[in-house]
């Protein structure tokens, strides 16, 4: 995934919200990033610095909140925490899991003025 385009879509969302609220600028943003989303938080953080330039978010602070990944074994249905979709089930040892949560990428909260 390309972190800069993600960062730009976050800034777009924030600006849309600010416009709707008739705000002058965005003060704070909280961004949730799932561990299984494929987004590298350090890269996203870096991309955000570029994406906010010249926007209402220019002076904003942001926080990137990692959401732990969770997967379910396709063989036995066991749900367990994991940071990979290619892990083996700790209960039955089978490979092959499906995502339960952790691929989200969203703007959790935003503060404008
Ligand atoms: Zn299993």
CATH of the domain at 16: 3.30.2320.80
Paired tokens of 37 = 């989303």
Q: Which residues surround ligand 1, an ion (CB under 5 A)?
A: 73, 75-76, 78, 89, 91-92
Q: Which domain holds residue 50?
A: 3-112
What's the pLDDT tens digit per position in 24-67? 999 999 999 999 999 999 999 999 999 999 999 999 999 999 99
Dihedral sign computed on CA atoms, order 90, 94, 98, 102: positive
pTM attached to this predicted model? 0.84
d(CA 37, CA 47) in angstroms, rounded, equals 16
pLDDT interval class at 2 (50, 70, 90): confident
Residue range 59-98, pLDDT digits in tens: 999 999 999 999 999 999 999 999 999 999 999 999 999 9
Q: Measure the CA angle with vertex 68, ends 83 and 104; round to 5°.
A: 95
Half-sphere exposure of 108 (CA within 13 A, CB side): 13
| Model confidence band, residue 1 (pLDDT cutoffs 50, 70, 90) | low
Q: What percent of the chain stands above pLDDT 70?
A: 99
- How close is the Cα of 72 to the center of ligand 1, in Å? 8
Distance 104 CA to ligand 1 centre (A): 24
Q: How many angstroms does the Cα of residue 93 sit away from the middle of ligand 1?
A: 6
Domain total in the chain: 1
Distance 35 CA to ligand 1 centre (A): 21
How far is ligand 1, taken at its centre, from the CA of residue 99, in Å? Answer: 14
């Amino acid at each position: 995934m390309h972190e800069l385009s993600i960062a730009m879509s976050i800034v777009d969302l924030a600006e849309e919200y600010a416009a709707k609220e008739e705000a002058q600028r965005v003060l704070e943003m909280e961004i949730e990033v799932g561990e299984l989303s494929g987004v590298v938080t350090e890269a996203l953080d870096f991309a955000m610095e570029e994406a906010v330039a010249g926007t209402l978010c220019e002076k904003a602070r942001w926080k990137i909140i990692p959401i732990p990944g969770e997967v379910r074994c396709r063989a036995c249905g066991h749900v367990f925490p994991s940071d990979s979709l290619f892990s083996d089930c700790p209960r039955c040892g089978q490979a092959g899991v499906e995502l339960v949560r952790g691929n989200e990428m969203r703007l959790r909260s935003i503060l404008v003025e």
